[in-house]
Structure formats: structure tokens, C-alpha cells
Amino acid sequence: MKHPYGVVWPLIVSAILAACAPGGGPTSQPAGEDGQPGAPMPQRTVVIILRGELPSLAGKPLVGFSGSLNPPVRIFNGMLDYVDEQDVPHPYLAETLPQLNTDSWRVFPDGRMETVYRLRPNLTWHDGTPLASEDFAFGWRVYATPELGVSGSEPYRQMEEVVAPDSQTVVIRWKQPYPDAARMDTRYHALPRHILEQPYETAAAGDTSGFANHPFWTIDYVGLGPYKVDHWEPGAFLEATAFDGHALGRPKIDRIRLLPISDPSTALANMLSGDAHFVADFVIDYEQGQAIEREWAGRDGGTVFNAPVLPRLAQIQFRPEYVSPKSLMDVRVRRALAHGFDVPSAVDVFTGPHGVATNTLTSPRVDYYPVIERAITKRPYDPRTLQRLLEEAGFARGGDGFYVSPTGERLAFGLWTTGGAVFERENRIFADSLRQAGVDVTPQVLGPARLADAEFRALIPDLFIGGAGSDRMREYSLGQIPRPENRWNGNNRGGWENAEYDRLFNAYNATLDPNERIQRLAEMERILNEEVGVIPLYFTVVVTAHTGNLTGPVARMSPDAPLGVHNTWNWEWVR
């Protein structure tokens, strides 16, 4: 289907190819005199294209920023465990994962819990300093410090303490049962005491800003992941080298180079010319991925992944002092607006056959979705229903065709999105469909300078079209509301609050039985749906691609799997 919002990418790709010719990609290894492969394949630098530059390399940063900038943190960080692209946890720095009802995972009669992790032997930080369990205890102390702004996030608010009975054993004592204790991934990791202990003591005495701005978090980062920072030219590139001491083995490729490229045409040019080898999340869209796939077809040019894992949703401002128009505080208006988003067109344009329309934060593709579906009211795209509900709430159309409230306030607001051609096109589809129904909507773009400004994003007065991470239900809990005291960290940017939702979320987070967790999840979805605390729209595809001379990259195939460039230690050249 040809859609008016589409772009004729084959023509653009042809222009790109003309500009790139002759191809500048890596060549195959030379053959010997007998025609057989010659010397071992020379090492080359893998070039990875990212949407933008990371404000911090830490798995758990102290500054809030868009999750769309997050994919490369796995390259530099190692954790007790990691969760793969299929949402399956694996031991990482720990030898094994805790097992419930064993000595490694005990639940006590008073509701507290304890988990034990034994570190792999001979682990070191990127700078060669031995890793010790005390580094995990120190990491907990830092992240649990209220003045640093992340103590209310998971899993720190559930932790009672972290202790190191010896240099190889990490013991976490929990205030309550915590079902994700064996799958914390990047949410909890060690910090290097030898670098940060003294700055932390200074911060504890009152200089928290100095600690948050310490160069460790950026250009001088020292982690435990497969690659270590070699050279970072802010705004241009970051180069990293393979870490010999990586817990799961030295990476097979010696060097990587990260390029922040937000323009998809530039990204396509780099991929088609062979100057780049992997394009990460949120750089290119479905249509551009299809164009690359057509160009690569028949010559083993590479692989394009279309993974329907990213929920697109409309966040609404709920803080009375910032919301505009005030009618957004009326649940009847929010329920009406939910019918005004032309989701079918967005799915068609941005995902082809891969996307999934949704009325919930939970993916309709999970096997337990019938339980969720029974708990909610569906609000499909239907302009007439929008108009009927607004008129039932006392709104009337003015002479210009747009609705006005009973108090005379025009139903007019901005519809914000992050920059980039993909999201701007999506925003126009939704703004146009709302305007055609009688709602005076103006598309607004959050430019690159604002993308990392967490305070600005939290105080947007109207609606914001964005995505959500793998831990979506947590993002609408009270602890996820960005505030000055938490340095504007948190994804509940509109400030939606509901005491019953938080009670259920806390119970969900303290429930170990899977079936009971599903029931509580359904109840949380019901509350969000009734109050329209957010408007879920659809699961769009996250498009990534790699060239044919590279093997190992994988796509995130479950919406519950964490973001990130996964398993780079297993990547290797094949020609």
C-alpha cells in the first residue's frame, strides 16, 4: 500500500549508491598461490552507527537521558547477570544465577530475602585492577544515596544492604521478595572503589554535583564489559579496544568505533558503502531497512532485522501547574483523544507486516495476553467516537471546526516527539488525524539539544509521543516520576500518580509466583486503561542491520528484553 506519508526510498538509495561508487567496503582476504585462503584474516575495526552520543557510559547513570541513546552501554559494562535478546537471563560476572529455595536464594518468614552470588575467578576492571565483591557493595552504597537521585529506582529501593563476606562473594539482603533477583542486568552493577571512593566521600559531604560530573562517567570510564574506551572525541566518535580480561572471553574483533549519526540518509550511505558494519536501534526505520535489504539481495550484502518490540505511546502531562490545556486533566477528554490516533496508518507506514497495534503496555503477542485483554477497554482509531465523547463532555466545535470546552478553552496543544525523520513523520500522521477530528494539534520536535535535557522533557505541558523500555509497568510507578530531588531521573515524565496502581506494582514486584504476577499485571493495565494514564498506540519495529562480512549481531526479539547492542564479544568477521 502506498501511503501519503511514505518516502520513495529506492530513488534515494540509488542516489546514495551513485555517490558511494565505487564501493569502499572491506574486501575479502587474499588467496594464496594455490588458490586457497592465505594468511589469517586481518583484523579490522567494526564501525557501529548510533542514533546519538551517550551522556554516560555507565549501565546505571546518574543523569537521566533518552533511552534511545542507550544501546551501546552493554559494550562497556559487565554485570552479575545479563539478559539476552530473547529475554533469557545468563550468569555473567557471577559463576551461576541464584536458584529459588536454595542457599543461594532464600526467602525468610518475615518477608525479607537474601541472594548470594559467587564471582568468577581472576576478574579485573578495564584498567587491570582486580574486581572484588566490595566493588558491588560500594556500587550499592553509591546508587542508594538519596542525594544522587537514583535510590528510588529498581532494584535499589528493594535492597536492604549489600555485603562482601569475602572478595569473591556478593550477598544482597532484600527488604522484600524480589522476583528479578536473578535478572538484574544493567540495573545493578559494581563501581570501581579505587577510582570513585574518594570522590564519593566528598559527595557525601555535600558536593553531589561534582561526583555526578566526574569524568569517570564519560571520557574516563572504566568498566567490566567486552570493550574498553581507547579514545573518545566528543561529538565525533568513540573508539574502543577488546578487553583481554572479559569474563566471557576476549572479543573476537580487536577494535570497534562508535559513530553518532542521527541522519538516516547518512547512515544508509555508510552501510551501503561498507564504511560502517552495524546500524543500531533507532537510526533507520522500516522503509529504509527495506531499501537496504533490496540493495543487498542476491549478493550476501547483509542482514536487516525488523523486531516489533518498541511500544509507541502518548504520554500526557498530569502536573496541574504545568499542564496545558487544563482540559487534559479530564479523564473524559483523555478517553476521547485515545480514539484520535491513526494507528493503522502508522503501522502500515512504519512496520509493514511486522507491527502490532495495542491498547496496553503489554505486547499482544505474549502467551498470557487473553488475561490482560479481559481487563481493559479497547479504544481503536475512530474519529466519530472521539467527537461523540468530547460532545458528551460538553465540548462544541467552534467556527473554525476545532473543539472548545464548556469554559471556552480551545482544545489545542502540542504533540511532541524526538527528532529524526522517522519520528517526525509518525508525529505528522497522528497530528493530522487528530486535527481532522477537530482537535487543534501542532506537531513539535524535541531537537538534539533537548534530547538529553531530562527536566525539559518532564515538564512538556501537553502530549509527548515516545517509546518505553523493557520494564514498562515500572515506568508509570510513583518512583519513576522525574523531580528535582532525583535529578529528573525517571520515565514517568508526565507525573501520573495512582495509589492503587503503586500498591499493585509493589505487590507485583514482591510476588514470586508467575500466575499471581500475571493477575496483578492485568489489574495494573486496567487502572492505566481506565484513567488513561498513558495512551498505548502500537509496537513498532526496531530496525537494525549488519553487513554480510560480519556475523554475530542479533535483534531484540522480545519487548521485555533489554535494549542494547548485544553479545559483541561473539561478533566476528567472516570475510
pLDDT, residue 40, reads 55
What single string gives the DSSP state of each residue in 457-476? Answer: HHT-SSEEEE---S-TGGGG
pLDDT, residue 43, reads 66
| CA-wise closest residue to 563 among 75, 213, 32 | 75
Question: Which pLDDT tens digit goes with each residue over 217-230?
Answer: 999 999 999 999 99
- The answer to whether the beta carbons of residues 88 and 306 sit under 8 Å apart is no
Higher pLDDT, 369 or 453: 369
For residue 158, how far is the Cα from the chain centroid? 22
Q: How high is the mean pLDDT of the chain?
A: 90
Question: Which pLDDT tens digit goes with each residue over 473-491?
Answer: 989 998 889 999 888 888 8
pLDDT, residue 41, reads 55
Per this entry, what is the length of the chain?
Answer: 575
How does 318-357 read in b/e, with b if 16+ C-beta sit within 10 Å?
A: beeeebebebbeeeebbbbbbbbbbbebbbbbbbeeebbb
pLDDT, residue 14, reads 54
pLDDT, residue 62, reads 86
Domain 311-540, CATH class in plain words: alpha beta
Confidence of residue 42 (pLDDT cuts 50, 70, 90): low
Cα–Cα distance measured from residue 139 to residue 132, given in angstroms and rounded to the nearest whole number: 11
| pTM of the shown model | 0.76
What is the distance between the terminal CA atoms of the chain, rounded to a whole angstrom? 38
Question: Which pLDDT tens digit goes with each residue over 72-93?
Answer: 899 999 999 999 999 999 999 9
Cα–Cα distance measured from residue 142 to residue 136, given in angstroms and rounded to the nearest whole number: 10
Q: Where in the chain are the domains? A: 78-198, 311-540
Q: Under CATH, which number does the domain 78-198 receive?
A: 3.90.76.10
| CA-wise closest residue to 157 among 517, 474, 454, 472 | 474
pLDDT, residue 70, reads 65
Instruction: Assess whether the region 78-198 and the region 311-540 belong to the same CATH fold.
Output: no
Burial of 507 (0-12, 13-18, 19+ CB in 10 A): middle
